[in-house]
Structure formats: C-alpha cells, structure tokens
C-alpha cells in the first residue's frame, strides 16, 4: 500500500498548431489493474498515449510513474523505466525472425546472448508463438504479428504495458485468443492500459474505463457504468440516440 | 548473418587459405597491387556495411574518414616523428570523433537525406584540406622514406608485406563486423533500420546507437586511409578525399550484397580488378574509356541484378538444393 | 562598400536563378518517384555541350539552341527512364541510389572520351557584354539566363497546376497509391517526369553555356549543390527548390565575399547541414 499511485496522469494538454488534440486529461492507474481508454475516432486517444510514453512532449500537465516525474523523459528512457508499448500500425522488424524480434526486446535488460535467447524463447512460449520462432517476422499472420508485438514489449520486462488498438482487425477467434493473452499478461503482474475500439475486449478485460472525446476526459468508471452513461452514448452515436436510451 | 552453414564456413576457410598463399604463388607487382586494392576497398566496404547495410544509413561520405586517417598519421609522422602505428590509432580516433560530430545533427536523417548530408560533410572536409596550408593544401604530402620495417610501417623492396598487413586489417574488420552483427548492437541497428519509432519503443536510444555505428565505421575507414598513405607514400586531397572513392565503397558493398559480411569482399574482388585493369590498359591516355565501362557495369548491375553477387549466389545455392 | 554588397547580392540572385532551374527538375523527379538522379548535373553538361557544338559547328546562337537542348534531353531522359531507371523502381533502395551514379560516371566519361577534357567557351554569343547601372555592372548573358530560368520555372509551375497531365504528375507526387486508384497511369507519369526534369536541366545547360566554361566534369559541383538545394527546399517541393536555389546562390556569393572565395561551396554545404539539423524535412518538404 504505497502512497504514490502506480501511474498518475495530471492535466495533460497537447496542441498541434491551432488544434488542441488533448486537453487537461487526468486519471490514475492502480498497480495490477487493466485500464481501458476509449472514445470516438479522432478523440485524442493516440495523442494521449504518445504523451504518456514519451513520443510527444505535452504542452502542459504531468505524468508520474511510481511517483517519478516522466513528463519530459525520452521515449527510450521511459521504456527502460518499465513502460512498454505497442503501435497502432503493427511494427515488427522485417529482416529478423520472430525469435530475433523478441531478442531485440530482451537485449534491453541483458547482454549475455544465451540468456537473451532463453528469455526470448520463454516469452514466445508464453505468447503462443513458440512454433513460429524461426519464421521471418513478415511471414506471419496479422494476428500473430500482434502477438509478436506484445512479446517484443514483454521482452523489455515492463511493469506497465500499453497497447494501442491491439484488437483491431482480428477475427472473432483471434480476438478471444488475444483477450486470453492479455489476461495472462496481467496475471503475470503487469499493469495494462489499453486503447481500444473493440467493445467486447473493453467489457471483458477492463477493471476501469476512461472515456475521451474531443480531447477531453468526459467520464471514468467501471465498464458497466460507462456503457450506460448518456454522455458516452452521445459522444459515440450523436444526439439522436442519447435521449432515447 | 545468421549462424553460417557448414558449406559457408568451408568456403570461407578455403578462400582464406588461398589468399594467404596467393603471394607465394603469384609473383609480380601488378597482381599483388590489385589484391591490395581489393582488400583495401573490401575493408572499407565492410566498414560501410555497419552503417548502410545494418542501419540503413547510406553513407556516401566515407572518403572523409579515409582522408582524415591518411592525413592524421602522415602529419604526425612528418611533423612530430610519431610512429605510423600510433598515427593509425590517432587517425582512427580523430575520424571517429568527427563522425560523432557530424552524426549528431544528422541523427534523424535516413535514406536519401542521410546520403546527401554525408556527401556535404565529405565535401566540406575536402574543400578545407584543399585550402589548408598546414597540410600543404592542394600540393599534397610526400611521406618521408624510412628504413624498411614493420615497425616503420614501410616497405620498399616488395609489396608483399603490405599485402599481408591489409589482409590482416580486413580480417579484423570482418571479425568486428561479425561481432556487431551477432550481438546487441547488430540487433539494435536493424531495429533502427526498420523504424526509429519502433526502436524508441523498445528502449533503444537510436541516437546513441547510430553514433556508435558511425564511430566504428569511421575508425576502420581511417585505418584504411593510414594504410594507403603508408603504401602509396604520397597523399593529396585529389587522391584521398574525393567523392568517387566514397561511391566506390558503396558499390563494392552493394555489388557484393549489402547487409552481408562477405558481400563487400566479393564486391571488391570483382570491382577493383576491373577498375585497376581498365585503368592500366585503357585509361592511360585519359580517354575515359575505363570509367565508361565501369559506369556501364554499375548501371547494368544495379538495374538488372541489384541483390548483388552474394544474393545471386545464395539464390543459386538455394535453388541448387 | 555597400555598392559592392549590392553587386554581390545581384550576382548571388542570378546564380541562384540558374540553380533553381536545375533544382526544380531534380526535385520533381524525386517527388514523383523517390529517386535522386545523380546524373542530373551531367545532363546539364550535355545541354551545355549541345549548345556549344551547335554554336561551333553550325553557328547557332545559344538562345536558339534552347528548344533543341530541351528536346534532346527530354528524349534522353525518357530513354534512360525506360531502360534503366524503371527497372530499379521495384528494387532495393540502394540500387536506386546507385544506378544514377553509374549513369553519371558513364556520361561524364563518355564526354571526356568524345570531346576531351578541355575547357570550352562560347566566345561571342548574341547577347554579350554588360549593362551598367551606375557603378554596378550586370552581365547580360547572366541576366538573360536568369530571366530565362525564372520564366521556364514559372512555365513548369503553371504546367503542373493548370494542365491535366501536370495535375496528374502532382497527384502522383502527393500520393502514389491514390493516384493509381484514380486511374492515373503512374508508369507514364514517371517517365514523363523524368523526361521533363531532364529537359529542364538541358535548357538550363543552354542558358549556362552563354557565360560559363563548358567541360565534361562541370556536372560535379553543380550536382552536389543541387542535391543540397533540393534537400533544403524539401524533397518534392518545387516552390521549395526554387526558393532554396536562390537562397543558396546568395549564400554562396555572400559567403565567398565575406569569408574566402575558395570556401564558398563549403559554406553552402555547412548551411545545408545546419538546416537539416533544425528542420530535417527541409523548408517546404513533407
């Protein structure tokens, strides 16, 4: 029971020219929970995501990780501190095998080539990619690539894993597998923040949900509460539907 | 380069033995000279590979490091009586520092943008040396003739010692390259090649690793420059700082197969004899025919067989199975 | 003192106009097909020699060679695209960088072989001499060349914005796959852009031949400068290349005037490096 929260996001604001992509967004994340960030397209979720992970520098606000201010820290340092991320458009290293991709991740914490390889193999087993270990990174299905991305991130031994639309473009079967994988990751002691559109995953996995619209946080709560919240419905479906529900 | 197959190891072993025995079997200054040039450019091609093959930093400015190496050791020798071997290291260090200095403003540049920046850098170096009195500007420097010995890094009666020295340099470069490729740096460079964003996300400081790559590549290329100075015994900006040398290095790496370790060696083995022979047979009148053939070859190969010879050989090898 | 400065600025502007014309063709080729044509400045040299031989053998003044140079280089550009460059479009990026290098080496040395490395000059073009504004002297051929360059660049600009073909080229430049989906024949656009770019630099060669030394290696420094201009203006941006060309011309002249003429190109390159440090995509690049 430490006083400092695991992750604290305070008043994050980010502007691009005249457009305010993210405005005064604040929330906290408890250790061990799965928090989802949802919102309509263009709401500013990715911008927020990038501000937290050090890819953008916010114009105002703070990000505190275990009490440490990481607002202006560079992206690679944030990864070293224990926050790993995936990308909206899946990125794997093309001229490497699946195993080598994960090794690139595990190399962050060890230099010993044998250990690096062993850890990577373990992670591949965990992620269900063990059989495809020697396939070229580009030669696997999109669903496997997404798993690979998760595996690569896990290689860096994060305490917080942030997923950017990991469920997009998956078939129903693949979706279930991914949900199972995320659950396993949490069971292994990793806190998760997931930015998602696929509601099934949000409902199943989240302990709490934060809803963003037009750059602002409009509400925060359990999945059940969020789904009934009139403001949320209005944000997604427009005025015509909110009154009727 | 993944764990090499038995076939590949055997091939390299046979090749190595052949190269070691070559001067004992083939006599004559011209063949030895050609082989020395082959090794020289193979070494620079291997050094280039660390940048261009692994990290997609297509440097067309390697000649700057070559020249810095050549000039540093020569000036230290001529003005301060510093032993060329120490000068070799000094040149390497200086080149590495200059590489880091230019690497910082260029840390976000990739592909074509990086290529042009590297050319701009090398040209600045050339123009400066061409006008700098301290290094005798365009006149160039003639190395003092020291008594022949390994310690003095100078031989007069035969080219064969030079042959073995540059071969050792080449092997050293290949070993360094292989070490990089199979350990963390190689992985990180390939991640950087894929995407700076991805690298950042995996905890890789792409700025730092790019600098490491430049510095190592610069050091090795400068070593080649010092060797050249000690071999030819005369250097001037027009022979050690010109763009065609940088281009030759890229071609050597590309022809052999960029991104492989043995590629540049093969590329050099094809390209250097070609340019040396055509230069001697056809170029003496300054007619330019030798370079025309050279240029034509480059055009045709890059247009019709860009994966290089190594790529070609491995494809054939695979199909053969 | 300030008259000198004005003269230098004018000179820089005039040189810059020439640079702009050279750079504009290069950036268009880059914008459309992602290729840096290292042989671009050698095409310039060919344009210059075409003008020279027409003058020396047939007494044709450079002014009238302009259309010939344009047409000849257009054809050459088309052929080179068709038989060499198009092959590397689908290959590794390195091959794309290198093939035009090969073409450059081939052309420059073919020129040495055919015409010897000697320096030539067009002694008495039609437009010759200087205008005098007070104490400032303006070289007429340079002025004509510069005005011509501006006009031709303007012509390109209008062509790209107002004609159907031109707009197709712009479309491909902006987004290749969308252009393809809209039914634009991107292969044709590639070839056309390469040909037009080459034609423009051929015309620049005709202009340049009015006052500059003509020799096989003239492409050398012009080439490097034009790459810097293109990168400075932002790869693919024609407006950027035009402005950067003039800027570089002025920087070069002022740099040589204030520091050391021998270092004028070094100053240009240094300025380029500083600019890409601050703004990697160039002034107007995307």
* pLDDT per residue as tens digits for the range A51-105: 999 999 999 999 999 989 999 999 999 999 999 999 989 999 988 999 999 999 9
- CB contacts, 8 Å: B117 with chain C: 231, 272-273, 276
The mean pLDDT of C160-183, rounded to a whole number, is 85
pLDDT value, residue A1: 45
- CB contacts, 8 Å: A106 with chain B: none
**C76-90 pLDDT, tens digit each:** 999 999 998 888 887
Burial of residue B29 (CB within 10 Å: 0-12, 13-18, 19+) is exposed
- CB contacts, 8 Å: C81 with chain B: none
Q: Which of C273, C275, C282 to mutate to test the interface with B (most CBs of B within 10 A)?
A: C273
pLDDT value, residue A243: 47
- CB contacts, 8 Å: B251 with chain C: 98, 101
**C191-210 pLDDT, tens digit each:** 999 999 999 999 999 999 98
A38 touches chain B (CB under 8 A): no
pLDDT value, residue B312: 62
B302 touches chain A (CB under 8 A): no
- CB contacts, 8 Å: A96 with chain B: 187, 190
| Minimal CA separation from C110 to chain B, in Å | 6
B207 touches chain A (CB under 8 A): no
pLDDT value, residue B320: 38
Name the residue in chain B with its Cα closest to that of A80.
B203
Asked if C36's CB is within 8 angstroms of B120's CB, the reply is: no
| Minimal CA separation from C215 to chain B, in Å | 14
3+ Cβ–Cβ pairs closer than 8 Å linking C and A? no
| A98 touches A129 (CB < 8 A) | yes
| Minimal CA separation from B1 to chain C, in Å | 18
What is the ipTM, given to two decimal places?
0.90
At residue C70 the predicted structure's pLDDT band, cuts being 50, 70 and 90, is very high
A171 touches chain B (CB under 8 A): no
Asked if B299's CB is within 8 angstroms of C272's CB, the reply is: no
Asked if B198's CB is within 8 angstroms of A93's CB, the reply is: yes
Which segments of chain A are extended strands (E)? 7-16, 19-29, 34-38, 60-65, 68-69, 83-85, 160-164, 191-195, 208-213, 216-221
In the DSSP assignment, the letter for residue B148 is S
At residue A169, the 3 state secondary structure works out as coil
pLDDT above 90 covers a percentage of chain A that reads: 73
A87 touches chain B (CB under 8 A): yes
pLDDT value, residue B1: 44
> Which residues 6+ apart lie within 8 Å of C25 measured at CB?
C40, C196, C197, C198, C199, C200, C201, C204
Beta strand pairing status for A60-65 and A160-164?
Answer: unpaired
Burial of residue C68 (CB within 10 Å: 0-12, 13-18, 19+) is middle
Asked if B203's CB is within 8 angstroms of A79's CB, the reply is: yes
A84 touches chain B (CB under 8 A): yes
How far is the C-alpha of A13 from the C-alpha of A197, rounded, in Å?
22
CB atoms within 10 A of CB A144: 22
Name the residue in chain B with its Cα closest to that of A100.
B187
Asked if B190's CB is within 8 angstroms of A95's CB, the reply is: yes
How far is the C-alpha of B32 from the C-alpha of B18, rounded, in Å?
14
Residue B308 has pLDDT above 70, yes or no: no
pLDDT value, residue C137: 76
B259 touches chain A (CB under 8 A): yes
Asked if C94's CB is within 8 angstroms of B254's CB, the reply is: yes
Q: Which of C276, C279, C282, C285 to mutate to test the interface with B (most CBs of B within 10 A)?
A: C276
A156: nearest CB among B187, B190, B202 = B202
How far is the C-alpha of B228 from the C-alpha of B244, rounded, in Å?
16
Lowest mean pLDDT across B52-61, B164-173, C57-66, C122-131: C122-131
pLDDT value, residue C31: 86
Surface of C (18-77) touching B: CB under 8 A? 30, 34, 36
- CB contacts, 8 Å: B294 with chain C: 105, 109
pTM of the model: 0.89
Surface of C (162-191) touching B: CB under 8 A? none
Residue with tokens 């591949």: A124
pLDDT value, residue B125: 96
Beta strand pairing status for A208-213 and A68-69?
Answer: unpaired
| C205 touches C44 (CB < 8 A) | yes
The alpha carbon of C176 is separated from its chain's Cα centroid by a whole number of angstroms, namely 24
């Amino acid at each position: 029971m430490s006083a400092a929260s695991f992750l604290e996001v305070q008043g994050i604001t980010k502007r691009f020219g005249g457009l305010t992509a993210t405005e005064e967004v604040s929330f906290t994340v408890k250790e061990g929970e799965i928090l989802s960030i949802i919102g309509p397209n263009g709401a500013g979720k990715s911008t927020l995501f990038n501000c937290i992970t050090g890819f953008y520098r916010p114009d105002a606000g703070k990000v505190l990780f275990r009490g440490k201010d990481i607002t202006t820290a560079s992206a690679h340092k944030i990864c070293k501190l224990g926050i790993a991320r995936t990308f909206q458009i899946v990125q794997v290293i093309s001229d490497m095998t699946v195993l080598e991709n994960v090794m690139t991740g595990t190399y962050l914490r060890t230099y010993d080539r044998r250990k690096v390889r062993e850890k990577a193999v373990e992670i591949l087993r965990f992620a269900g990619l063990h059989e495809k270990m020697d396939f070229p990174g580009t030669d696997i299905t999109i669903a496997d690539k997404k798993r690979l991305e998760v595996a690569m991130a896990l290689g860096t031994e994060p305490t917080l894993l942030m997923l950017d639309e990991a469920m997009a473009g998956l078939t129903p079967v693949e979706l279930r597998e991914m949900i199972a994988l995320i659950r396993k990751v949490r069971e292994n002691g990793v806190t998760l923040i997931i930015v998602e559109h696929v509601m099934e995953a949000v409902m199943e996995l989240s302990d709490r949900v934060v809803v963003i619209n037009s750059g602002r946080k409009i509400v925060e709560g359990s999945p059940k509460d969020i789904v009934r919240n009139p403001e949320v419905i209005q944000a997604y479906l427009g005025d015509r539907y909110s009154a009727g529900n | 380069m993944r764990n090499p197959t038995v076939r590949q190891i055997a091939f390299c072993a046979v090749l190595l033995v052949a190269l070691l025995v070559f001067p004992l079997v083939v006599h004559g200054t011209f063949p030895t000279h050609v082989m020395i040039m082959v090794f020289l450019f193979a070494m620079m091609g291997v050094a280039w590979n660390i940048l261009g093959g692994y990290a997609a930093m297509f440097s067309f400015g390697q000649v700057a490091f070559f020249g810095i190496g050549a000039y540093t050791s020569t000036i230290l020798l001529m003005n301060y009586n510093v032993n060329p071997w120490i000068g070799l290291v000094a040149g390497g260090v200086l080149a590495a520092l200059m590489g880091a200095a230019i690497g910082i403003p260029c840390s976000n540049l990739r592909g074509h943008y990086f290529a042009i920046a590297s050319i701009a850098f090398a040209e600045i170096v050339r123009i400066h040396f061409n006008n700098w009195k301290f290094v005798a500007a365009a006149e160039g420097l003639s190395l003092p003739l020291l008594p022949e010995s390994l310690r003095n890094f100078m031989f007069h009666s035969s080219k064969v010692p030079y042959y073995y020295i540059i071969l050792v340099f080449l092997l050293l470069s290949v070993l360094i390259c292989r070490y990089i490729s199979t350990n963390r740096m190689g992985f990180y460079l390939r991640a950087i090649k894929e995407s700076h964003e991805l690298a950042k996300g995996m905890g890789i400081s792409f700025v730092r690793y790019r600098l490491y790559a430049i510095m190592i590549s610069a050091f090795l290329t400068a070593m080649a420059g010092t060797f050249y100075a000690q071999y030819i015994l005369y250097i001037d900006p027009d022979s050690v700082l010109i763009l065609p040398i940088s281009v030759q290095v890229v071609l050597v790496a590309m022809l052999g197969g960029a991104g492989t370790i043995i590629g540049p060696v093969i590329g050099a083995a094809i390209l250097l004899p070609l340019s040396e022979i055509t230069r001697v047979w056809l170029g003496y009148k300054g007619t330019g025919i030798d370079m025309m053939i050279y240029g034509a070859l480059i055009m045709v190969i890059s247009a019709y067989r860009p994966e290089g010879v190594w790529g070609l050989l491995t494809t054939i090898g695979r199909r053969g199975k | 003192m300030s008259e000198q400065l004005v003269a230098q600025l004018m000179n820089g502007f005039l040189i810059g106009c020439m640079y702009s014309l050279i750079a504009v063709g290069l950036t268009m080729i880059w914008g459309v097909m992602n290729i840096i044509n290292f042989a671009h400045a050698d095409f310039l040299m060919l344009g210059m020699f075409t003008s020279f031989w027409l003058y020396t053998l047939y007494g044709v003044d450079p002014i009238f060679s302009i259309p010939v140079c344009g047409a000849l280089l257009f054809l050459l550009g088309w052929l080179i695209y068709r038989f060499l460059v198009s092959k590397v479009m689908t290959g590794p990026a390195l091959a794309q960088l290198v093939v035009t290098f090969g073409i450059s080496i081939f052309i420059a040395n073919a020129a040495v072989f055919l015409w010897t490395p000697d320096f030539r000059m067009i002694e008495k073009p039609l437009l010759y001499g200087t205008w005098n504004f007070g104490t400032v002297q303006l070289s007429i051929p340079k002025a004509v060349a510069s005005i011509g360059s501006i006009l031709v660049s303007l012509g390109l600009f209008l062509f790209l914005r107002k004609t159907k073909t031109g707009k197709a080229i712009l479309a491909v430049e902006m987004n290749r796959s969308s252009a393809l989906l809209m039914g634009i024949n991107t292969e044709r656009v590639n070839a056309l852009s390469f040909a037009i770019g080459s034609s423009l630099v051929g015309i620049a060669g005709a202009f340049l031949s009015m006052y500059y030394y003509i020799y096989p290696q003239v492409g050398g420094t012009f080439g490097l400068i034009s790459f810097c201009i293109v990168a400075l203006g932002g790869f693919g941006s024609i407006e950027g290349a035009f402005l950067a060309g003039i800027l570089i011309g002025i920087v070069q002249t002022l740099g040589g005037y204030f520091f050391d003429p021998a270092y004028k190109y070094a100053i240009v390159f240094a300025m380029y490096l500083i600019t890409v440090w601050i703004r990697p995509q160039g002034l107007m690049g995307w």
